[in-house]
Amino acid sequence: MTRPGPTTRARIRQLSGRTVRERRDDLATEEPLEIRLIGADGTRRTVAITMRTPGHDFELAAGFLHGEGLTGADGIASIAYCSDEDLPPEERYNTVTVRLRGPVPDLPALERHFVTSSACGVCGSAGLDRLHERCDPLPPGGPPIAPEVLYGLPDALRAGQGVFGKTGGLHAAGLFTADGVRLAVREDVGRHNAVDKLVGWSAMGGRLPLAGHVLMVSGRAGYEIMQKALAAGVPVVCAVSAPSSLAVDLAREFGLTLVGFLRGERCNVYAGHERIFME
């Protein structure tokens, strides 16, 4: 069985005026990923099924678990693709098994089961009150960020999007220093998955919390993006498009800086303007 990759070839008909030609096109691959947990006592539980772009799947699983408060990197014993005989070969690269050092979390205590899609982006616990139970507001301050650094982030993010350059159909999340140095970029058909991959990369590398860093996303900034940034300790979130009302509420309540409509040398600062150095 061939492992699915981030792109898939397709034959298409391309129209230009009254001219038609056949050609091959690269599409962004979209496949389901099931995340399973196995506790130290052998208990098994599926905690998420999400539509994603194959690649960095272990980071996606680790980032999702961290963002939802289910377990940190130190609670993970191993991550591997599932080799259960009950799965057909074509599904084994679409199932990730996370072995925990302790028991499986009490999932029935959560308000819902985690079934997500690349379109809906429903990845956060419902409501700011629930978020207060496991996340503290971020401390004020941090390295000041010059507007010129912000203005350079979209182009720096785009330069790191190798798969987008081939397909034109992926979201991206990038992690930067306060000076605008790009540390990592992850791509996916789901913007929330891209952030999970980035957080998972940070968690597995022992980089959390991400104080003093900037998260840049290619699309809009919704509640689920801000929740994941808060859980990872990222003080500044920037987006090419608009934030949602709940994203702004979260940023203001938990002390994050939120920048939207970051295009060219223009942007809107919706929360945490004190981290933007204007002198």
Q: Which residues are annotated as a binding site?
A: 261-266
Instruction: Please state at what angle helix 191-204 crosses helix 57-67, rounded to 10 degrees.
Output: 90
Q: In terms of Cα–Cα distance, which of 95, 122, 83 is closest to 31?
A: 95
Kind plus residue range of the DSSP H or E element containing 57: helix 57-67
Catalytic residue among 82, 120, 135, 267: 120
Q: Write the CA distances from 112 to 37, 85, 115, 116, 120, integer angstroms.
A: 16, 29, 9, 11, 15
Answer yes or no: 120 catalytic.
Answer: yes
Kindly report the backbone phi and psi dihedral angles of residue 113, in degrees, each rounded to the nearest multiple of 5, phi listed first: -90, 155
Amino acid at 161: Q
Q: Write the CA distances from 156 to 153, 161, 184, 261, integer angstroms.
A: 5, 9, 11, 16
How many angstroms separate the CA atoms of 25 and 254, rounded? Answer: 44
Q: Specify whether the CB–CB gap between 256 and 229 falls below 8 A.
A: yes
List active site positions.
120
